Amino acid sequence: MMNGGNGSEDLQREHRAANPSPWVTRFLGGAKPGGTVLDVACGAGRHLRMALEKGFSVTGIDRDLSRVEDIAGRNDVGLIEADLESGHGFPLKDMAYDAVIVTNYLWRPILGEIVGCVAEDGILVYETFALGQEKRGKPSNPDFLLKPNELLEAAVPHLAVVAYEHGVSAGDMMQRIAACGPEHPWAKGGPLEL
What are the residues whose beta carbons fall under 8 Å from the beta carbon of 8, sequence distance 6 or more? Answer: none
Give the residues across from 168 on adjacent strands. 173
Give the residues across from 124 on adjacent strands. 100, 179
Task: Summarize pLDDT for 140-180 with one digit per residue, the tens.
Answer: 888 899 999 999 999 998 999 999 999 998 899 999 999 99
- The pLDDT, as a whole number, for residue 68 is 97
189 or 65, higher pLDDT: 65
Please give the average per-residue pLDDT across 90-103, as a whole number: 96
Give the residues across from 77 on adjacent strands. 58
- The pLDDT, as a whole number, for residue 11 is 37
Q: Which CATH superfamily is domain 7-187 in?
A: Vaccinia Virus protein VP39 (3.40.50.150)
Task: Look at residue 11 and give its three-state secondary structure.
Answer: helix
Please give the average per-residue pLDDT across 80-96, as a whole number: 94
pLDDT at residue 15 greater than cutoff 90: no
- The pLDDT, as a whole number, for residue 3 is 40
- Is residue 93 within 8 Å of residue 116, measured between CB atoms? yes
Query: Would you state the torsion angle of the CA atoms of residues 84, 86, 87, 90, taken in this order, to the nearest 10 degrees?
Result: -20
The per-residue DSSP string of 107-126 comes to -GGGHHHHHTTEEEEEEEEE
What pLDDT band is residue 71 in, cutting at 50, 70 and 90? Answer: very high
- The pLDDT, as a whole number, for residue 193 is 66
- The pLDDT, as a whole number, for residue 17 is 58
- Is residue 177 within 8 Å of residue 158, measured between CB atoms? no
- The pLDDT, as a whole number, for residue 7 is 45
Element (H, E) at 111: helix 111-115
- The pLDDT, as a whole number, for residue 188 is 84
Element (H, E) at 155: helix 150-155
Domain boundaries, the chain: 7-187
- Is residue 75 within 8 Å of residue 96, measured between CB atoms? no
- Is residue 123 within 8 Å of residue 129, measured between CB atoms? no
pLDDT at residue 99 greater than cutoff 90: yes
pLDDT at residue 126 greater than cutoff 70: yes
What pLDDT band is residue 137 in, cutting at 50, 70 and 90? Answer: confident
The pTM for the full model equals 0.89
